[in-house]
Amino acid sequence: MVTDPIADFLTRIRNAQMAQHRIVEIPASNLKKRITEILYDQGYILKYKFEDDTKQGLIKIALKYDADTKQPAIRSLERISRPGLRQYAKPAEIKRVSNGLGIAILSTSKGVLTDKQAKAANVGGEVLCAIA
């Protein structure tokens, strides 16, 4: 049993990149699906596919690497808000990740958004993770 599914999601991606895997499979949830869509929209992953099975479903993510150096597109994945210490931010308090080059993913009242989308919509929320 996993106590922190988002940390498990990030760790699976991090471990797959360290092992130079092309595809990683992750158990699905609606929150993880939305985070995957944000990663795709921001250009951190190549493709993704949601598959249904008899249980909760599966997310297949095709990881993105640089063609020349074989470096992964995602340099760092960091869990910010944890079950033991939740981190919330108002729109003015949302910090930039990697001096604006990375993204923070927030769970807000308007859904799961990036830091820039949350500031534009003037909503705050729980800062789930930071990706650079």
- Higher-confidence position of 2 and 58: 58
Q: For residue 108, what are the β-bridge partners?
A: 111, 125
Tell me the pTM. Answer: 0.94
pLDDT of residue 55: 85
Residue ranges of domains in the chain, CATH in brackets:
5-63 (3.30.1370.30), 77-131 (3.30.1490.10)
Distance between CA atoms of 90 and 130, rounded to whole angstroms? 16
* Per-residue pLDDT reduced to its tens digit, 81-108: 999 999 999 999 999 999 999 999 999 9
pLDDT of residue 89: 97
* Per-residue pLDDT reduced to its tens digit, 24-70: 999 999 999 999 999 999 999 999 999 998 889 999 999 999 999 99
For the chain, give the secondary structure using H, E and C. Answer: CCCCHHHHHHHHHHHHHHCCCCEEEEECCHHHHHHHHHHHHCCCEEEEEEECCCCCCEEEEEECECCCCCCECCCCEEECCCCCCCCEECHHHCCCCHHHCCEEEEEECCEEEEHHHHHHHCCCEEEEEEEC
* Rounded average pLDDT over 69-73: 94
Question: Among candidates 29, 35, 61, which has minimal Cα distance to 129?
Answer: 35
pLDDT of residue 53: 84
* Rounded average pLDDT over 17-28: 96
Asked if the model's pLDDT at residue 1 lies above 80, the reply is no
